[in-house]
Structure 1
């Protein structure tokens, strides 16, 4: 699909396509985004530290709420530390072969330090402080992913790092008001990766007001994905997944590291 047009890539992804302006049909940057695939299979080549730092710089060039810059990136180069993190994440077997790992941190600590350094109060100690730092980290993650893939690497975010927050905090020596939003496996892809289909644009792009996704949209999507996965359809699999409690201690951990979530 490398030579496919942007409408063709969108059609493969969503089952439908917007009316792509003719001048953008072969835009390389947009085609790279439309055709991207999560990479869970890597060869054994290491990723050069200079390259990882370059990608971090690109990621941290992304927008930040009110220019507060409440996001950091932690590159895990120590082999023992990387092994310890992978051990925590062993439920996902593919992570074991990831040659490099970075962790995206929400950092509300720095702003609190800045307030103190300038003799200013911190009256915004509420849910918005947690939300803004989390969003900044998420934007940095997405930008890093796009930069890494533009550099020829493969990536896959690892949200299950939040299943082990106390252990990760201790391993990475994270202070209060700093926590991992996600890790990222980074490496050189071992062959082509599979593009994941997404819900139709009719269900997820809204105009002027919100329209609920219909069951018909989801059923059609399930059918479109049947030839790409074994087991139950997408919606049934996600329903089963979310029928079990997950990360029920997350709020308690976030409060324990100093956030007030009122």
Structure 2
């Protein structure tokens, strides 16, 4: 068990309005509160038996209606891992991870069940894709929690969707199976940093959604984050110039000022999904 003062300190490092837990808490909870993304890995292999255990734990997570529409592709072969890392543009650190995994949404099995039983598939619309994507995301979260409890470091890689067709071809994904996110896995070369998050008052709601004074809350968050975890570079300085008050909100606005994955919908449709 972990002393609540330690958990309070972890929350204070992450949130401007941290909760105040009382009484001892399970060590696993403190580990989750302390987690951070790992991008520097030791030159040390991850045993296959451990990877298999982590996959089993990840696939024990909740799944919509017991449909189990999520698969994990472990990429351990050095050549395949190098090819996958090469598809993740702008993230050179990925090549240093001893294991890469890709979490996939899988609606194919469900459709095969219908074919085998001679039953019409009556849900060929957006929800078929959405359910599989959510299932994959839940499994990813479960894997990360389990891996970090074992002392491993992890970092999700959404950029696998930048080259979704190429990743799909590399992994041999058939129709109705698609990459949701990658995951870099290995033993940390250094402790990961606790990333500051938006205030809980802006993201946790009771009974009804509310925004309150959201702009002021985000402005305060920008100031605190710039003081304690400043960005090392500003996005698109050729377009926006250099800002003296560059913070999280400006970084995110600049990020989505450029198109990202505009072809992903076409890729998903090419995989056989109807997104109506």
Structure-2-length-normalised TM-score: 0.91
- Residue 272 of structure 2 corresponds to residue 258 of structure 1: yes
Q: For residues 138-188 of structure 1, what are the alpha-carbon distances to aligned partners after superposition, in whole Å with 9 as ceiling and x for unaligned? A: 000000000000010000000000000111111111100000000100000
Is contact 1:45-1:99 (8 Å) kept?
Answer: yes
> Aligned-pair distance for 1:239?
0.4
Name 2:6's counterpart in structure 1: 5
Deviation at 1:254, TM superposition (A): 0.4
Instruction: Identify the residue that residue 17 of structure 1 maps to in structure 2.
Output: 18
- Which shows bigger deviation, 181-190 or 90-99? 90-99
Indicate the residue corresponding to 1:151 in structure 2. Answer: 150
**How far apart in 2 are the matches of 1:6 and 1:62?**
25
Post-superposition Cα deviations, 1:95-144, rounded to whole Å, max 9, x if no partner, equal: 12111111101000000001111111100000000000000000000000
The answer on whether the counterparts of 1:37 and 1:195 sit within 8 Å (CA) in structure 2 is: yes
Post-superposition shift, 1:26? 3.6
Counterpart for residue 189 of structure 1: 188
Query: Is 2:190 the partner of 1:209?
Result: no
* 2:36 alignment partner, SS class: coil
Cα distance, 1:205 vs. partner?
0.3
RMSD: 1.3
Indicate if the aligned counterparts of 1:39 and 1:193 stay in contact, CA closer than 8 A.
yes
Residues in 1 aligned to 2:114 and 2:268: alpha-carbon distance in whole angstroms? 21
Structure 1 contact 46–99 (Cα < 8 Å) conserved? yes
- Residue 237 of structure 1 corresponds to which residue in structure 2? 251
**Paired position in structure 1 for 2:80:** 81
Give the deviation of 1:17 after TM superposition: 1.8
- CA deviations on 1:227-258 (whole Å, 9 max, x unpaired) are 21234211101100011111110111100110
How many Å separate the matches in 1 of 2:38 and 2:222? 22
Using the TM superposition, give the Cα deviation of residue 90 of structure 1 relative to its aligned residue in structure 2, in angstroms.
4.0
Q: How does 1:166-185 map to 2 (within 5 A)?
A: 166-185=165-184
Give the match for residue 224 of structure 1.
224
- Helix, strand or coil at the partner of 1:199: coil
The whole-number CA distance in structure 1 between the counterparts of 2:151 and 2:259 is 37
> 2:81 touches 2:95 (CA, 8 Å); kept in 1?
no
Which runs of no fewer than 5 residues in structure 2 stay unpaired?
Answer: 234-245
